Amino acid sequence: MKERKTGLQMTRRDWLRFMGVSGFAAGLAACAPPGVAPADDAADAEVLVDRWTTGLVDPDISGTFRIISWEGEGEIDKFIPFIEGFFEERYPNMEVEIESGVPWGDYWTKLPTQIAGGDPPDLAWQHQSRGWVYPDKGWSHSMQQYVESHPPDGWPDDWEPKMIEMSTYKGELHSLPYGWVTWGLFVNRDITDSIQEYPFPDDWTWQDLREIAKEATSGEGMDKIYGCRIPIFDKTLWAVSMTWGADLFDTERTRGNFDDPIVEEAAKYLWDLRWTDGSSPTPGDEQAMGLGGEFLFASGRIGMHMGISDIAARLDNAIGDKFPWGIAPIPTGPNGRFGYEGGAQWMIPAGSKFPELAYELTRYVLSNEDILPTLGIEGSLYPPRLSLAEYGLPKGWEEKIPNAKHALLTLGLEQPTYYQYFTKYQEWSALWSKWMDPIFVEGKDNIKEALVGLNNETNELLGAA
Amino acid sequence: MNTISTEAVQGRPAAGLGAGTSPMGTERSRLLGNLGAWGLLSLGGIIMLVPFLWMVLMSFKSLDEVYTFPPQILPNQFLFSNYAEVWDQVPVARFFSNSATVAISATLGVLLTSSLGGYSFARIDYPGRNTIFLLYLSTMMIPFAVIMIPLFVQMRMLGWINSLYALIVPGLFSAWGTFLMRQFMMGIPKELEEAAEIDGCGHFRIYSTIIMPLCKPVLATLAIFTFMGFWNDFLWPLIVISSRDLKTLPLGLAGFQQKVALNTPWHLVMALAVVSVLPILLIFIIGQKYYVRGIVTSGLKGAA
């Protein structure tokens, strides 16, 4: 006969129940959103009012200021001390939450969902490929009024004008650039010195590149050395076409121009590098080698690698002492040189809880000549102010690669025409893949037919058909 | 089998079958067939296993070895220190605890709601039952991308953005789980329930003391699938979680991979991937018997 326990005595089942309920309660508490920490100490601190405060924000403002970026820790770390310092000194009751390292593709799912769902971050990393998309959909906050009433330092004369142009949609500034890049050819001198004297002449052409690449290509299979590696996408086709005198679209981006014979010639040129000469690895080759992009160049199997300027410092680390290397400018042609790329910005998402504060922070970090050299010093993007642009080149490179500044920065800026993204660019990318992947990825040779097909569907999409 | 029956009935070998029709021949062809099947299955198994083995081996290599060309299979030296290093660089314990909190809570919740729902749809007669079930089932046809924003708005209104509630609560009700439970429960003899009713049991008593103990295999299947789903979930946590302290393992893994753009420390990323896979592997190994039995049983009963 089981004896029932009374009073404060607890049966095993009661104990288990108690533990279960306690555990459940503890679990629920652990799931709760993190609250804003009380800022008692901070409230007593002396608040700094200086030329970086606009007066638009109450110094006692409190809450959580959220920032989101695709940049990984290695890149975002250099921004963090300045961001945190800004709030600690000027808005001590604010908490800052920085979410970094969101994978690139997922970033563009997360950010619009947060905006559409009514809970966006207060400041977001923006890319030029979406520079028109967000304002067009009403997803970004205009900065025009702020810039007019409280312009950033050096505004506008010292700011890279094309980046400002890219940040502007229908006359309104929607973002401020934090950095920009140019294209160059990273050269493995062990492979090219016997063919082309280094440094390469400024007036070398795409035809020269093809000849050098053919001569530099040697070996077979896994031991093959490729003369060049030219990534092929719409922007590469644009750069070659423009050099020879034709754009891929009309200037307003309302009509395609892919049926232009010059565009066809440029496409054939890029196709030949891969499929006729075999001097640039195909995607299949890279898959078989298990290496791609900069890694392939760093492995010593590529003569000339086309890449953007911000990879220079990282390439330097990856190459080490394996081989001597240098930088050549993007080849030129009858219509000029098109080595300017563009860059990325900071924007205030629509629905931000602290838009004025976001602008103040943006203005403080991105126009401050005490901060910008640090943002560029890692050999990253060129800072947005032209007078400080060379801080974007890796430190101490004057001796190591003397022509780096000339090849990347001076000649990159020689003709700063950029590939203008448009509001339907993301949808259009699917058309590019549909028509051009069979050509450039699979190696089919019906180039003209594919370009005409792409042009027709482009016009249909842009409403020009 | 058909060959032997034909032979026995007609008293002569079936045309065209030759030596294969004798008992020895049948044995040999069966052996060959088995060998072929085993060969194919082994090949498939190896193909499935290679990426996993590659991940494990890479987690013990140095970064230089990861980028060695041509690639080498075994590391020169097994660097267990990679695991310690990743532990130093990333709050693995925090990610792990968040993933475990979400996956365990949601799995328990799904087991409860799906079994109750399944019981209702399988064992209780009420008007519109099948229509409601079909409506519920039809929610499986809606892609997640379609409900992502409304769900986000709901979570915002509840104040659950950037909290683990947002990861647990929306997943507590599973149409697929309810379907699985219903199909299984429909195969349990009605007599058991009737006997319990005669003894005075109500629905909840029948559910908890008669039906649920019989549902262990399907509960195990549902638990494994649900746990795996929540453990590996990436997109929804990515959207609603922004604090590093609340990130789950898949988010932590993705963030770690992004850490250095060109020099991704793949050996450490793989070490973290191995850590993240271990619980799933363990649960699968423990529950394998129930998992397979549950799939087979629920499939057959469901079709009946």
ipTM comes to: 0.75
Type of residue found at B155: M
Shared-domain flag, residues B265 and B136: yes
In a domain, B151, yes or no: yes
Residue B72 in contact with partner chain A when CB distance is under 8 A: no
CA distance A130 to A112: 11
Q: Confidence band (pLDDT; 50, 70, 90) for A279?
A: very high
Question: Which CATH number does the domain housing residue B163 bear?
Answer: 1.10.3720.10
Residue B74 within any structural domain of the chain: no
Give me the residues of A, 83-122, that contact B with CB < 8 A.
Answer: 97, 99-103, 106, 109-110, 113-114, 116-119, 121
Do B103 and B206 belong to one domain?
yes
CATH class, A182-340+408-462 region: alpha beta
- Whether chain A has a CB inside 8 Å of the CB on B165: the answer is yes
> In this predicted structure, what is the pLDDT of residue A169?
92
- Interval B70-95: pLDDT, tens: 778 888 889 999 999 888 888 999 99
User: What φ, ψ does residue B23 adopt, rounded to 5°?
Assistant: -55, -40
Q: Domains in chain B: how many in total?
A: 2
Q: Are residues B87 and B127 in the same domain?
A: yes
pLDDT reported for residue B1: 38
- Strands A226-229 and A325-328, by their bridges, are unpaired
The answer to whether A33 contacts B163, with C-beta atoms less than 8 Å apart, is yes
B259/A contact by beta carbon, under 8 A: yes
Cβ-Cβ contacts under 8 Å, B162 against chain A: 33-34
Nearest CA in chain A to B108: A24
Nearest CA in chain A to B165: A31
Nearest to A250 by CA among A27, A65, A464, A444: A464
Average pLDDT score over chain B: 85
Same domain assignment for residues B175 and B212? yes
Least confident of A203-212, A223-232, A361-370, B277-286: B277-286
* Partner-chain contact A113 B259, CB within 8 Å: no
Main-chain phi, psi angles of B76, to 5 degrees: -60, -40
pLDDT tier, A332 (very low <50, low <70, confident <90, very high otherwise): very high
Do B258 and A117 lie within an 8 Å CB cutoff? no
Domain end (from B25, B43, B58):
B58
Find out whether A178 and A384 touch, Cβ atoms under 8 Å. Answer: yes
Residues 6 or more apart whose CB falls under 8 angstroms from that of B135 comprise none
User: Does B215 lie in the same domain as B86?
Assistant: yes
pLDDT at B124: 92
Q: Is the pLDDT of residue B15 over 50?
A: no
| Chain A contact set for B260 (CB, 8 A) | 72-74
Q: Which of A335, A181, A330 is nearest to A247 (CA)?
A: A335
Is A116 close to B160, i.e. CB distance below 8 A?
A: no
Range of the domain at B170: 81-303
The confidence band for A19, taking pLDDT boundaries of 50, 70 and 90, is: low
CATH superfamily assigned to domain A47-181+342-392: Periplasmic binding protein-like II (3.40.190.10)
Domain match, B20 and B163 both = no
| Domain locations along chain A | 47-181+342-392, 182-340+408-462
Residue B223 lies inside a defined structural domain of this protein: yes
Please give the Cα distance from A21 to A269 (Å, whole number): 71
What per-residue confidence (pLDDT) applies to B21?
A: 58
8 Å CB contact of A75 and B261: yes
Checking if the pLDDT of A263 tops 90, the result is yes
Is B70 contained in some domain?
A: no
B38 and B115 in a single domain? The answer is: no
| Pair type for strands A325-328 and A172-173 | unpaired
Q: Is the pLDDT of residue A36 over 50?
A: no
Residues B39 and B172 in one domain: no
Q: What is this structure's pTM? A: 0.80
| pLDDT exceeds 90 at position A140 | yes
Cis before A156 (ω within 30): yes
Q: What is the predicted pLDDT for the residue at A27?
A: 62
| Cα–Cα distance measured from residue A239 to residue A67, given in angstroms and rounded to the nearest whole number | 34
pLDDT for B289 beyond 80: no
CA A157 to chain centre: 24
What percentage of residues in chain B have a pLDDT greater than 90?
56
Q: Which residues pair with A343 in a beta bridge?
A: A180
- Chain B interface includes A73 (CB < 8 A): yes
Is B161 part of the contact surface with chain A (CB cutoff 8 Å)?
yes
- Kindly state whether residues B211 and B284 are assigned to the same domain: yes
Asked whether the domain spanning A182-340+408-462 has the same topology as the one spanning A47-181+342-392, the reply is yes
A68 and B CB contact within 8 Å = yes
Residues of B whose CB is below 8 A from A118 = 153, 156
In this predicted model, what pLDDT tens digit does every residue of A377-388 receive, in sequence order? 665 788 889 888
Spell out the residues 6+ positions from residue A227 whose beta carbon is closer than 8 angstroms to its own.
A191, A212, A213, A214, A215, A216, A217, A277, A279, A280, A303, A304
